[in-house]
């Protein structure tokens, strides 16, 4: 149900994901969740910071969670990989709409 | 003042930093702050997760903050870089010491 507000960070250029998050906000979402695993975690933080500082100034970091996921590779071996979820949230609209 | 409880994540192998954090806890600290910038952010999350899951089970993530820092390179140009601070904290000792 929150899936439609979720942006998964992969290996594309950072600005692709920034655009995806901004589009979510502009289509009426008040919360957007940015998810990433492994090396993409750094990019997820970049995306959150760029959105917040440059494009959606009224957005703030509501919550950040880190966890470990166990993945299985093609050979059947399992590997642990860290993941992050960053929840960006717009502050109450009645305030920001006056600006 | 909190500097002595802070572990800065760089380019060394992840387990070096895990050891540094575990050592901080074993020397009596109840809180350890893990800091990283740029690409090292992913490694910082790995370090926090490995410490918490494997070495200091009573530690939990108390707080995570992300910010943007402006760095100046040798040519005098400035660049923005994301940074993260993960605060790991031991739960109250009276509970864990009984284990």
Q: In the structure encoding, which two tokens stand for residue B76, read together?
A: 């005098």
| pTM of structure | 0.87
- Report the percentage of chain A scoring pLDDT > 90: 78
Does domain A3-92 match CATH 3.40.50.300?
A: no
CB atoms within 10 A of CB A57: 13
The residue written with tokens 């998810």 in the block is A35
| Contact at CB, A49 and B82, closer than 8 angstroms | yes
Rounded Cα distance, B63 and B61, in Å: 6
Give the model's pLDDT for residue A91.
77
Chain B residue whose CA is closest to A82: B46
Q: How many CB atoms sit inside 10 A of residue B37's CB?
A: 20
| Closest of B20, B21, B39, B19 to residue B30, by C-alpha | B21
Q: Nearest by CB to B53, from A42, A46, A68: name it.
A: A68
Report the residue of A66, A70, A80, A84 to disrupt the B interface, i.e. the one with the largest count of B CBs within 10 Å.
A66
Beta-carbon separation of A42 and B39 below 8 A: yes
Using an 8 Å CB-CB cutoff, list chain A residues near B40.
42
Question: What gap in Å lies between CA B67 and CA B73, rounded to an integer?
Answer: 19
Phi-psi region of A58 (alpha: psi -120 to 50; beta: other; left: phi over 0): alpha
For chain B, how big is the Rg over CA atoms in Å? 15
Identify which of B40, B48, B68 has the shortest CB distance to residue A53.
B68
Domain residue spans of chain B? 3-92
For B98, phi then psi, to 5°, come to -75, -20
Count Cβ–Cβ pairs < 8 Å, chain A vs chain B. Answer: 49
> pLDDT by residue (tens digit) across A29-74?
999 999 999 999 999 999 999 999 999 999 999 999 999 999 888 8
> What are the tens digits of pLDDT across the range B55-86?
999 999 999 999 999 988 888 889 999 999 99
Best residue of B9, B18, B37, B42 to probe chain A, by most A CBs closer than 10 Å: B42
User: What ipTM goes with this model?
Assistant: 0.85
């Amino acid at each position: 149900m929150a899936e439609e507000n979720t942006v998964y960070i992969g290996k594309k250029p950072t600005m692709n994901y920034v655009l995806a998050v901004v589009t979510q906000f502009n289509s009426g979402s008040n919360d957007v969740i940015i998810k990433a695993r492994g090396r993409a975690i750094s990019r997820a933080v970049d995306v959150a910071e760029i959105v917040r500082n440059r494009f959606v100034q009224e957005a703030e970091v509501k919550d950040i969670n880190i966890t470990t996921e166990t993945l299985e590779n093609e050979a059947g071996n399992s590997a642990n990989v860290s993941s992050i979820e960053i929840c960006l949230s717009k502050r109450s609209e009645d305030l920001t709409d006056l600006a």
